[in-house]
Structure 1
Amino acid sequence: MNDHYLKKLDRVTAILTQLQSKPLVRAQDLAEKFDVSIRTIYRDVKTLENAGIPIVGEAGNGYSLMDGYKLPPVMFTKEEVLSFITAEKLMQKFSHQSLGSHYQTAMEKVRSVLKYSDRNLIQHIEKQIDIFNYQPKPEDSIKNVIPTILESIAEKTQLNIEYKTVDSRVTNRTIEAVGVFFEFNYWYIMAFCTLRKDFRQFRVDRILKISKTQNPFSQEYGQINDYRRNPETNGTKVRLLVEKKIMGHLVNSKKYYGLTEEIERENGMELTFETEWIEEGFPRWLITFADYAVVLEPESLKTKLNHLLKTISEKHQ
């Protein structure tokens, strides 16, 4: 069997896996995923149909498997099995505790369909992989909080939460969850708050109580990244010119502090931010690399930075 047919076999098998795992699969998406033409995808789908796989749909609309059709368990490659082991280690260290037991059960099901040789491989290799995390996980006051949030998103129903703010006040909110995200060792909900009539993010470990309501919401909020990338804030605009050699050290933190634009200049990288932390947080972050940066605007940031440097200098004379 030549290389062309081997590639086609791998691709057709992968398309079948996509059909098993998704309710609708578009030919255009498959063509982009496998880096082939849409016409090639049409031929691959025809190959599956000729093999007796009942595929519903047509070119231009998308494909799916006939409802109720069952396939034998998927066989995994050795590389996929090894990736499962690594993913399991990551989940053990970084997943939210309300997801941990569910993931463990899911992995037991995956292990049950592995070949004997692959189960042997897991047994020998899983103790050779570890993830070192030096930050303790925050403890939640309630169980199954993230599954409850995700169910409300899928069902498009409002949530009632009792929430402890950063200054230890307890408030009751009704929210419409957009999604969840993990950042700087904490899980957050991005949601529309009916009390504030605006989008807010809530730290999951500060939720004291949570319950799904019977109140549906019809608003389509889009993807969570739309809100993470374009936060609606009344922040202060800041522009910095930063030397290129230290940009690698700012990969994560620059987004956290409100990066909105990044332009390469002849003498460095021009970074634009929208920040609400102009009084304290932003100047203290900037001071960590101030010898490699120039403040272009605002003038008030230069004043704050100079004052902070003077205070530090006086304390350490």
Structure 2
Amino acid sequence: MNDHYLKKLDRVTAILTQLQSKSVVRAQDLAEKFDVSIRTIYRDVKTLENAGIPIVGEAGNGYSLMEGYKLPPVMFTKDEVLSFITAEKLMQKFSHQSLGDHYQTAMEKVRSVLKYSDKNLIQNIEKQIDVFNFHTQPEDSLKNVIPIILDSIADKTQLTIEYQTVDARVSTRTIETVGVFFEFNFWYIMAYCTLRNDFRQFRIDRILKISKTQNPFLQEYGQVNDYRKKSHNQKEKAKLLVDKKIMSHLVNSKRYYGLIEEVETSEGVELTFETEWINDGFPRWLITFADYATVLEPERLRTRLNELLTKMTERHQ
């Protein structure tokens, strides 16, 4: 069998896997995924139909497997099995506890269809992989919160939450959830808040009560990342000159605090930010490496930094 037919066989098998895992698969998406023409995908689908696979649909509208048709369990490659082990370790450390049981059940189903040799591979190697989390996991008052949130997204129904802010104030909100995201060791909801008539993010470990309502919402909100990029406060430009030897420690945090430009000079690295936290969050972050940085602008950032440093010195004298 020549290389052309081997590639075709791999592609046709992968298309069958896509049909098993999704309700509808578009030829255009398959063509982009496998870097071939749409006409090639049409021929591949015809190959599956000739092999007796009952495919419903047609070119231009998408394809799906006939309802009720069952296929033998999917077989996994050795590399895929090893990736499952690593993913399981990551999920154990970084997934929200309300997802843990569901993921464990899903992994048990995956393990059940593995070959005997692959099951032995997992047993032999899973103890050789571990993930050490630098941060402690936050304690949530609710244990099943994320599945409730995901249900509300799927059903497009409003949620009612009792939420505690950082200064311990508690309020009741009705929200329309856009999505959830994990950032800096915390899970957040991005949602439209009917009380504020605007989009807000809520830290999940600060939710005291949550319940689904019967109230539907019809608005299509798009993707969660579309809203995380938006700011509700005016941003201000800040510029720092930072010693090169500290740069490796700022890889992730500099993006979070609004980095827009990075220029290496003979004196160090000039970092330019656009931030809405110029009075509090930004200078407090700057304190963590202030002995390696110089504030170039604005002047009030330098003043605020000195105020914080003076308070720290007075408190610890």
TM-score scaled by length of structure 1: 0.89
**Equivalent residues in 2 for 1:92-107 (5 A)?**
92-107=92-107
Change in CA separation of 1:134 and 1:240 when aligned onto 2, cut-off 3 Å: closer
Question: Distance between the aligned counterparts of 2:49 and 2:294, measured in 1?
Answer: 63
Partner residue in 2 for 1:194: 194
- 1:59 paired with 2:64, answer no
1:185 maps to amino acid: N
Question: Distance between the aligned counterparts of 1:214 and 1:132, measured in 2?
Answer: 42
Question: Distance between the aligned counterparts of 1:44 and 1:265, measured in 2?
Answer: 51
Partner residue in 1 for 2:184: 184
SS of 1:162's equivalent in the other structure is strand
* CA shift digits 1:171-192 (9 cap, x unpaired): 1111111111111111111111
- Residue 222 of structure 1 deviates from its aligned partner by 0.4
2:142 maps to amino acid: I
Instruction: Give the stretch that moved more between structures: 191-200 or 277-286.
Output: 277-286
- Residue 265 of structure 1 deviates from its aligned partner by 7.3
* CA shift digits 1:119-148 (9 cap, x unpaired): 111111111111111322112222210000
Whether the 8 Å contact between 1:186 and 1:203 is mirrored in structure 2 is yes
- Residue 263 of structure 1 deviates from its aligned partner by 6.1
1:271 maps to amino acid: T
SS of 2:211's equivalent in the other structure is strand
- 1:274 paired with 2:275, answer yes
Change in CA separation of 1:279 and 1:107 when aligned onto 2, cut-off 3 Å: same
2:252 maps to amino acid: N
Partner residue in 2 for 1:225: 225
* CA shift digits 1:215-262 (9 cap, x unpaired): 000111100011112233333333456677755433321232234x33
- Residue 109 of structure 1 deviates from its aligned partner by 0.9
Whether the 8 Å contact between 2:242 and 2:292 is mirrored in structure 1 is yes
RMSD: 2.6
**Equivalent residues in 2 for 1:16-55 (5 A)?**
16-55=16-55
SS of 2:111's equivalent in the other structure is helix
Partner residue in 1 for 2:204: 204
Whether the 8 Å contact between 1:244 and 1:269 is mirrored in structure 2 is no
Whether the 8 Å contact between 1:98 and 1:143 is mirrored in structure 2 is yes
Whether the 8 Å contact between 1:241 and 1:271 is mirrored in structure 2 is no
TM-score scaled by length of structure 2: 0.89
Whether the 8 Å contact between 1:242 and 1:271 is mirrored in structure 2 is no
Change in CA separation of 1:243 and 1:206 when aligned onto 2, cut-off 3 Å: same
- Residue 10 of structure 1 deviates from its aligned partner by 1.4
Partner residue in 2 for 1:262: 261
Question: Distance between the aligned counterparts of 1:240 and 1:26, measured in 2?
Answer: 49
Change in CA separation of 1:57 and 1:139 when aligned onto 2, cut-off 3 Å: same
Instruction: Give the stretch that moved more between structures: 34-43 or 212-221.
Output: 34-43
2:109 maps to amino acid: K
Whether the 8 Å contact between 1:241 and 1:293 is mirrored in structure 2 is yes
Partner residue in 2 for 1:120: 120
Partner residue in 2 for 1:87: 87
1:137 maps to amino acid: Q
Change in CA separation of 1:48 and 1:265 when aligned onto 2, cut-off 3 Å: farther
Question: Distance between the aligned counterparts of 1:12 and 1:244, measured in 2?
Answer: 51
- Residue 89 of structure 1 deviates from its aligned partner by 0.9
- Residue 76 of structure 1 deviates from its aligned partner by 0.9
SS of 2:278's equivalent in the other structure is coil
SS of 2:274's equivalent in the other structure is strand
SS of 1:75's equivalent in the other structure is coil
Whether the 8 Å contact between 2:57 and 2:63 is mirrored in structure 1 is yes
- Residue 81 of structure 1 deviates from its aligned partner by 0.9
Question: Distance between the aligned counterparts of 2:275 and 2:52, measured in 1?
Answer: 56
Question: Distance between the aligned counterparts of 2:234 and 2:296, measured in 1?
Answer: 20
Change in CA separation of 1:33 and 1:141 when aligned onto 2, cut-off 3 Å: same
Instruction: Give the stretch that moved more between structures: 77-86 or 62-71.
Output: 62-71
Change in CA separation of 1:247 and 1:110 when aligned onto 2, cut-off 3 Å: same
- Residue 46 of structure 1 deviates from its aligned partner by 2.0
Change in CA separation of 1:204 and 1:50 when aligned onto 2, cut-off 3 Å: same
Q: List alignment gaps of at least 5 residues for structure 2.
A: none
Whether the 8 Å contact between 2:257 and 2:273 is mirrored in structure 1 is no
